[in-house]
Chain A
Amino acid sequence: MPRYFFDIDDGERFTRDDHGLECAGPEAMREAAIGVLPNIARDELPDGDRHDFTVKVRDEGGRYLFQATLSLVAEWLPGEREPRALERLE
């Protein structure tokens, strides 16, 4: 099975994978890459309103083959009413 290396950047910290993971193929590698992003997000939140979590996958030859980014965008709202609530008022 091919071995892939998953480098992860959470915007503050970059970790270069020197261990790697054997995956059955590109699809399994893609699943492993995407699957780790929510876990990283859980570890690194809850600071800030914007946060990008990126994983970049290398093969054994050092070629980058895949990348995925999970973005958090958080914002406070001015307090406008939900449309259904407006209907009830009228």
Chain B
Amino acid sequence: VIGDIFIKRLELIGRLSDEDRAALRELNGYTRDVQRGEDVLKVGERPTEAVAVLSGLLQRYTISPHGNRQIHSFYLPTDTPCLETLHIDFMDNSLSAAAPSRVVFVPHADLYRVMDRNPKVLALIWRETLVQAAVFREWLMRNSQKLAHAQMAHFFCEMMTRAKAARVAQGDTCDLPITQEDLGDALGMTTVHVNRTLMILRSGGMVEFKGGKLTILDWDRLVETAEFDPAYLHLRA
């Protein structure tokens, strides 16, 4: 059921009633498979549908005037990127597939109707976009205030915390199907710097990142290195 994915995401950050869940299950939509690098929503576009991730990994990015790419966030299965398009006219950034993904599209009109009749859904969708803003603030702080190894450790802590919350982790391993180049574009680091920083974290016995998989070897040391506090993710306890 298309609406289940919205229920899953919203229940990670708040509570829904039986009526809310029933209303979300009525949502209509369709799924589409996208290839790595393919845009789901392009900068300048005027979206009429909301997006959710069924499988794979999406990323939000902008390209600088010099042609460099800044990745602003990654979206795991159950994430609902770009809900702000419900209230913003056009895309000021792009959403694309970081890996082969299956994406759900739901017409904005359907969501407006559910939001009109179910105030709790309206509030949680609002909350979801606010949580995303909190994540952007954390990324800004991480990229500008932390040294490379702490920055990368922080990123890994976030992705693992989110994967576990979304129940897409397998123990201390989760899919993170991105390249070292992608990682550099997210952290604002050159590929050579990414490579060395990864080696430092790996040789420190903290983390393994290989073949599109992230494995945490020593969570406590990784958290300490990152000075990671998951509060900004606002996950429901």
- Cβ contact within 8 Å between A19 and B200: no
Q: Is the interface of B mostly helix, strand, loop or mixed?
A: helix
- Cβ contact within 8 Å between B191 and A8: no
- Cβ contact within 8 Å between B189 and A19: no
Interface hits, A17-68 → B, CB 8 Å: 17, 19, 21, 32-33, 35-36, 39-40, 42-43, 55
- Cβ contact within 8 Å between A39 and B180: no
Using A39-B148, A42-B147, A43-B147 as known contacts, say yes or no to A15 and B190 having CB atoms under 8 A apart. no
- Cβ contact within 8 Å between A19 and B148: no
Q: Which A residues are in CB contact (< 8 Å) with B189?
A: 39
- Cβ contact within 8 Å between B200 and A15: yes
- Cβ contact within 8 Å between B147 and A21: no
Q: Which B residues are in CB contact (< 8 Å) with A17?
A: 192, 195-196, 199
Q: Which A residues are in CB contact (< 8 Å) with B203?
A: 15
The smallest beta-carbon distance between B182 and chain A, in angstroms, is 13
- Cβ contact within 8 Å between B196 and A36: yes
The smallest beta-carbon distance between A59 and chain B, in angstroms, is 15
Partner of B192, one of A13, A16, A35, A42: A35
B149 proximal to A (CB < 8 A): yes
- Cβ contact within 8 Å between A21 and B149: no
Supply 9 A–B pairs (Cβ within 8 Å), ascending by A.
A8-B192, A15-B200, A15-B203, A16-B199, A17-B195, A21-B191, A32-B190, A40-B193, A43-B197
Residues of B bordering A, CB below 8 Å: 147-149, 180, 189-193, 195-200, 203
